[in-house]
Amino acid sequence: MTTVEVFADVLCPFTHVGLHTLIDRRNQRGQDGPRLRIRAWPLELINGKPLEAHHVETEIVALRGSVRPDLFSGFRTETFPTTTMTAFALTAAADRTGDPAISEAVGMALRDALFEQGLDIGRPEVVAAIAERFGLEPLDHDATVAAVEADWAEGKERGVIGSPHFFTAVGGSWFCPALAISRDDVGNFIVAWKEGSEAFVDGVFGDG
């Protein structure tokens, strides 16, 4: 099965839009692939702290107001995680299966739990419930750190710019390919579909 690799942070709302949009387009085409192997691009480690809830909320307001009003219906700042490592413990376990369909399903389940259901995926019991659905056991702390740091190192070596960064099977490399993100004069986020995003979609599905 063809695979698209995605380096992304589990708390990144732009990733949530990008992944859902790509899966939606795949479903519209009636295709089973490519599947998304979602790797860790750990902003908590890169920035020395996790993303901040109210900052993410401003990004979500812009996303809902412009490109995906159907997403983020359950987002709540009060349940926003204070760490990503608990969720990455499960994504790393999913990646160890070697099955990109599992990697995709687990990555989407975690993001939907956060952004659509308002759950704190930094809490072990929340992640454990998701893991149980897939018959997986989250990695322990040391194994999680090792797996996340390995993804981070590989991402840097391959030229990852930020979250999300996509690599297609035919050699395409795309940072946040669907969205154009800027700020207005007072600092509010402005988000729109990026010119050339169709070329990315065509590349993913082998049309370009």
What is the three-state SS of 90-115?
HHHHHHHCCCHHHHHHHHHHHHHHHH
Residue 19 pLDDT greater than 90, yes or no: yes
Computed from CA positions of residues 63, 117, 106, 48, in that sequence, does the dihedral angle turn out positive or negative?
positive
Q: What's the distance, CA 165 to chain centroid? A: 9
pLDDT in tens, 63-119: 998 889 999 999 999 999 999 999 999 999 999 999 999 999 999 999 999 999 999
- As a whole number of angstroms, the distance between CA 164 and CA 177 comes to 8
pTM of the model: 0.90
| Over residues 168-191, mean pLDDT | 67
What pLDDT shows up at residue 66?
85
- As a whole number of angstroms, the distance between CA 77 and CA 98 comes to 34
Task: Retrieve residue 69's tokens.
Answer: 């009003």
φ/ψ of residue 192, rounded to 5: -145, 165
Domain spans of the chain? 3-204
Q: Which fold has domain 3-204?
A: Glutaredoxin (3.40.30)
Lowest mean pLDDT across 111-125, 132-146, 175-189? 175-189
User: What is the chain's mean pLDDT, rounded?
Assistant: 90
